[in-house]
Structure 1
Amino acid sequence: MQDDVISSVVTPRPGSANDRQAEHMRDFRAYWNSMRKGHDVPRRSDIDPRRIEPLLSNAFIAERIAPGVTRLRIAGMHLSDLMGMEVRGMPLSSFITPADRDDFALKLVDLFDRPAAIRLDLRSKAGVGRPELSGTLIMLPLRSDLGDVSRALGCFVSKGQIGRASRRFEIVNSHVEPLVAGIESNGMRALPGDRDEAPRAPSEQPVHRSARDYLRVIK
């Protein structure tokens, strides 16, 4: 925005940038919901990057390569900024502290196997040259061209100065929303259980396993 005169300058309200970011994240989730078209999970080929333009630098596409393990196929520049290097091809768990990676792997199992929409509230502790950061990681399942649920559309937003990279985050809270075909929810809610994880049915057993230059695609 350009200002013609000093008197035209309007000081933004505190938190207004955060409000816009929160709105963009709601729109991000709403767009994914709209692409479900009455099914449980949309296809990767249905996703149009132009529809998530406000968060393209925060967006990513991840591919499941094993239970609880994903790698980044497409990644916005913000993810590279957090890591201090190119992140395509890297495991998504690279952003998570080692102590929380087992928990993160279980969330990835939920993401693809239930399937479920996942939201993680994250925190990166302060250190030398590293101010404290908070973050939100959203992961939404997608079907590949073969029809299997093995892709994920995600968004990683952080609040605060990145400082010296690389930054890794601990999981503060997790929100798991199992999907039902034909039902499009308005958002994710906290569910009871460990770190707000949805309780599993008795028959289920936990799986224990220790359109721009800022989007890059693995060939």
Structure 2
Amino acid sequence: MQDDRTSSCFPGVTAVDRLHAADLQALHSYWAGLCEGAEVPRRSDINPRHIGGLLSNAFIVERIAPGVTRLRVAGLHLNALMGMEVRGMPLSSLITPAARETFALALVDLFERPARLDIDLHAKAGLGRPEMTGRLLLWPLRSDLGDVSRALGCLVTQGDIGRASRRFEMTSVRVLPLDDSAAPAAKPNEALHGGLRGEWPVRGAARRRAHLRVVK
């Protein structure tokens, strides 16, 4: 049975989410509980003890340029996916080169709107690399200076990792308001703040398309 509360926070719940439904809901509720009105939480407000069962999947990124982020703290699952220590690496290292332009535009919205991101992922099978699916969630955070330049993230996957490094296509990208009851959805082809549009295909993704859209 699908958890309706999880569905309301994360539209399009998949099999990946059902494996982690309670933990994903708890992590979202933790972040939302730290919000002060329209203000997103500060990076210093995040306590790893409250991340619970997703600690190995969680990470913190820092915005270093528009559309570019660097991993400041990362759970062991991200290290396993890349086969190396990922701290200090761009978050886009986990994304296929063909999808990185679209990913960068989504990151602009994450920090400049600000907004939440909910991204479906797919990694093709290859030699020593089984097919994988995943979900990447990002919540904006403020630095101690008050600017929105940090983000809390979580990457959950389904399938064996096999031979690292693993990189993912994006099959859909959802730009979500901070408050689930706020901000109407953008109309199809309506330009978003960071240059995204209602429908945006990932270049070079064979038979798979990533769609960027604002969700109520």
- Report the TM-score range of the alignment, normalised by the length of the smaller protein: 0.7 to 0.9
- Deviation of 1:101 (Å): 0.2
Q: 1:169-188 residue pairs with structure 2 within 5 A?
A: 169-179=168-178, 184-185=179-180
- Deviation of 1:178 (Å): 2.9
Task: For 2:79 and 2:53, locate their aligned partners in 1 and report how far apart those are by CA, in whole Å.
Answer: 17
Q: Return closer, same or farther for 1:71/1:51 CA change in 2, 3 Å cut-off.
A: same
TM-score, normalising length from structure 2? 0.77
- Deviation of 1:18 (Å): 5.8
Instruction: Show CA shifts across 1:11-68 (max 9, x none).
Output: xxxx999635122111111110110032331111111111112100000000000000
Equivalence for 2:106: 107
**Structure 1 position 51 matched with structure 2 position 12:** no
Determine if contact 2:112/2:194 at 8 Å carries over to the other structure: no
Task: For 2:119 and 2:53, locate their aligned partners in 1 and report how far apart those are by CA, in whole Å.
Answer: 20
Determine if contact 2:94/2:168 at 8 Å carries over to the other structure: yes
Instruction: Show CA shifts across 1:59-118 (max 9, x none).
Output: 000000000000000000000000000000000000000000000000000000000000
Equivalence for 1:158: 157
Task: For 2:170 and 2:151, locate their aligned partners in 1 and report how far apart those are by CA, in whole Å.
Answer: 19
**Structure 1 position 131 matched with structure 2 position 122:** no
Determine if contact 1:175/1:191 at 8 Å carries over to the other structure: no
Aligned-partner SS, 1:134: strand
**Structure 1 position 142 matched with structure 2 position 145:** no
**Alignment size in residue pairs:** 182
Q: Which one has more relative contact order, counting CA pairs under 8 Å at least 6 apart?
A: 1
Determine if contact 2:93/2:167 at 8 Å carries over to the other structure: yes
Task: For 2:177 and 2:191, locate their aligned partners in 1 and report how far apart those are by CA, in whole Å.
Answer: 10
Aligned-partner SS, 1:158: strand
Equivalence for 1:200: 191
Task: For 1:132 and 1:185, locate their aligned partners in 2 and report how far apart those are by CA, in whole Å.
Answer: 33
Q: Return closer, same or farther for 1:114/1:205 CA change in 2, 3 Å cut-off.
A: closer
Task: For 2:194 and 2:58, locate their aligned partners in 1 and report how far apart those are by CA, in whole Å.
Answer: 32
Please list every run of 5 or more consecutive structure 2 residues that lacks an aligned counterpart in the other structure. Answer: 1-13, 197-216
Task: For 1:35 and 1:175, locate their aligned partners in 2 and report how far apart those are by CA, in whole Å.
Answer: 22
- Deviation of 1:177 (Å): 1.0
Task: For 2:92 and 2:187, locate their aligned partners in 1 and report how far apart those are by CA, in whole Å.
Answer: 24
Task: For 2:15 and 2:98, locate their aligned partners in 1 and report how far apart those are by CA, in whole Å.
Answer: 34
Letter of the aligned partner of 1:185 in structure 2?
Answer: D
Instruction: Show CA shifts across 1:183-212 (max 9, x none).
Output: x428xxx97647xxxx436xx5727xxxxx
TM-score, normalising length from structure 1? 0.76
- Deviation of 1:134 (Å): 0.2
Please list every run of 5 or more consecutive structure 1 residues that lacks an aligned counterpart in the other structure. Answer: 1-14, 208-219
Q: 1:19-30 residue pairs with structure 2 within 5 A?
A: 19-30=18-29
- Deviation of 1:152 (Å): 0.3
Q: Return closer, same or farther for 1:18/1:33 CA change in 2, 3 Å cut-off.
A: closer
Determine if contact 1:58/1:76 at 8 Å carries over to the other structure: yes
Letter of the aligned partner of 1:173 in structure 2?
Answer: S
- Deviation of 1:150 (Å): 0.2
